[in-house]
Chains A and B, each alone.
Chain A
């Protein structure tokens, strides 16, 4: 049972990683990051099923933090869009060395 759960979460996580790597739109990348967070949450839940409730407590924490992060992240993306009329990361390379 645990193995199947972990396989599912791993699949979700890898989907998220691939999404981050191949997409150029900041919103989509952001959503993929959220997907990776969710995959981790699911892992916590799966483990708590076998090793006690500590995992569920962590899930609450992660969701709180990811909510805060989503707020900040979206705010940054919006202000970038206002500034440059695009959220395509290909064109956003101010930190180039």
Chain B
């Protein structure tokens, strides 16, 4: 089945041939097998039939956001309302679902070891079959294994496995348990296809596949229309971005003739650097990234995506899928580095998104919404990194963010489940995700509290946690490229690139301050101050089981030590923490050339300046935390039901700047109006149904009526017609 044809690059050395890397196809196939098995078990054992896997009434409790697992049996019915409708195959699924991920992760470790020893300079490409041989267009179903995809694979399978294990605890009482795991496995399959694809179309298959799984999992509790709508919103908004990616692919094919990464990077040199063509291709590609990675203007789906189960938010909407855009820009570095304008656009959009989302995060009350806006903001940082050509920094922040944001989301999952269980016991319909109903939870969830504080400090940029190193490296890269680089000498909408980069740097620092503030705010309101949950409910609050806290602990360790992946020189010179710039060396064969093209001519930033920048970043992070602690008073926070809406600018921020409403007015409602009045009433009802369908029927009926008038039933007239006809024929024959 595996048709291993020789690769064009195979005339060179293929150090990975014949090693465990040949098994790279097994990486996505394992989760795919998990999807098939879990999916079949879901159909086989559905307690209410496949059409209603959630049960008829299991989610009347679910609030605007996600609903944790223990939500069956309604309070109104009384009696056995705590009976758990656990799925009959739940035990098997608990083994298979996380099992395939752990196997994939172990395989990934093996491949990584081999790759680390071999140090290949060229990507290892496996061709399986010819997928689209159409004229000049030759597209193979092929996987490409290089240092960049290896990083992504390790993150996806590693963090993915932890989140799968966490899900065993979080989702165990859900009637849709096997369905959940089959979707989750399918997601990992598509995500691995995305990062393994050796050309843009295979990447696009993964790109669309993860979008599908995202849709399925956001709407996992589809009995609530809110959740189903959130899924649809995510899907539709992503279509806008995917259009951009498709156009970029068409333009690539039309102008270069190939779509595989090796071919495009080899022929990218033919394109004129900085030409409108390269810029257009990059910008269309970036439009795809803004959709998938939730950047302005297409970020609006991500906050709504929090309607899905919390581990889904951790895996798909924080750690992996939303970083696909960052991955794709790093993967397409050979194109983006050719276009300073497109690169600067990426950086500007990233910076604006970072600060914009951070301000919204300041005023959210739903704990998951805070994290959602935080994710958007941090993705903005990553785009700043890859936008200024610091592809390593962007990927570094991607990895560390996967650690600490997964930890934060899973931690919030523990909190929400504790809250939900408590409210469920008392049949209260209070919002289990609203921070105004929490407070003082550190007494009941000590492990979660400590771990989430670690992640909070990491995301705020407190040394020596992982977030400090990665965020600082992005900001440092922006600063370093502001003078002498190709970006600095370019101009963006009339602004000189150098000035623009300093502005982006300032925005990045401001966003870092806001990050520290809103994260501290979230922690203070959730874990500190008085317990606002309710006296009766307070008795039921308890820490999550070990199967949930275990992954949290591992993620906590990764959050603390993730920075060691890429220690900057300026730090290792002062404090010898360990080997420096591991990730930079690791990724150098993939993005080194492109990165060098952008930094060409950039002046070396003096060490003293670098140290000053780091000091400034740390001071700002600490200032953010201190400011939040000093200004916010969790003691005086009213419960959700007593809260008054905010007014003035605070109200505008709390309502997310009314962006959703504005989009409703300007895009959604006009689209509805056009669809209803023109497409439906005029085109469909009027033209198609009226003119074409009923019109052709009326035409046939009219002709039939005329024909029927000839049938008088009177033999005399028939005889006349006959005779006239004969005479006419005779006349025609004789007079010819």
A90 contacts the other chain (Cβ, under 8 Å)?
yes
B715 close to A89 (CB less than 8 A) = yes
Distance in angstroms from B167 CB to nearest chain A CB is: 74
B711 close to A97 (CB less than 8 A) = yes
B723 close to A96 (CB less than 8 A) = no
Contacts of A46 in B (CB 8 A): none
Q: Mark A2-39, 1 if CB is under 8 A from B, else 0.
A: 00000000000000010011001000010000000000
A71 contacts the other chain (Cβ, under 8 Å)?
no
A74 contacts the other chain (Cβ, under 8 Å)?
no
Q: Nearest CB to that of A18 among chain B residues? A: B723
Q: What total of A-B pairs shows CB separation below 8 Å?
A: 32
B719 close to A20 (CB less than 8 A) = yes
**Count of A residues near B, CB < 8 Å?**
13
Measured CA separation A24–B717 after assembly (Å): 11
Measured CA separation A89–B718 after assembly (Å): 12
Contacts of B707 in A (CB 8 A): 97
A85 contacts the other chain (Cβ, under 8 Å)?
no
Residue among B713, B715, B716, B719 making CB contact with A97, cutoff 8 Å? B713
Contacts of A21 in B (CB 8 A): 716, 719-720, 723
Distance in angstroms from A64 CB to nearest chain B CB is: 24
B712 close to A96 (CB less than 8 A) = yes
A68 contacts the other chain (Cβ, under 8 Å)?
no
Distance in angstroms from B716 CB to nearest chain A CB is: 6
Contacts of A20 in B (CB 8 A): 719
Contacts of A96 in B (CB 8 A): 711-714
Known contacts A17-B723, A97-B707; A24 and B712 CB within 8 A of each other: no
Q: Nearest CB to that of A20 among chain B residues? A: B719
Measured CA separation A90–B715 after assembly (Å): 8
Q: Nearest CB to that of B708 among chain A residues? A: A97
Q: Nearest CB to that of A24 among chain B residues? A: B716
A94 close to B719 (CB less than 8 A) = no
- A to B CB contacts below 8 Å, 25 in the list: A17-B723, A20-B719, A21-B716, A21-B719, A21-B720, A24-B716, A29-B715, A89-B714, A89-B715, A89-B716, A90-B714, A92-B713, A92-B715, A93-B712, A93-B714, A94-B713, A95-B711, A95-B713, A96-B712, A96-B713, A96-B714, A97-B708, A97-B709, A97-B711, A97-B713
Interface of A toward B, CB cutoff 8 Å: 17, 20-21, 24, 29, 89-90, 92-97
Interface of B toward A, CB cutoff 8 Å: 707-716, 719-720, 723
In the A-B complex, the 5 residue pairs with the closest CB atoms: A97-B711, A93-B713, A96-B713, A97-B708, A95-B713
Further contacts, 12 of them, CB under 8 A, given A17-B723, A94-B713, A96-B712: A20-B719, A21-B719, A21-B723, A24-B716, A89-B716, A92-B715, A93-B712, A93-B714, A95-B711, A96-B714, A97-B707, A97-B711
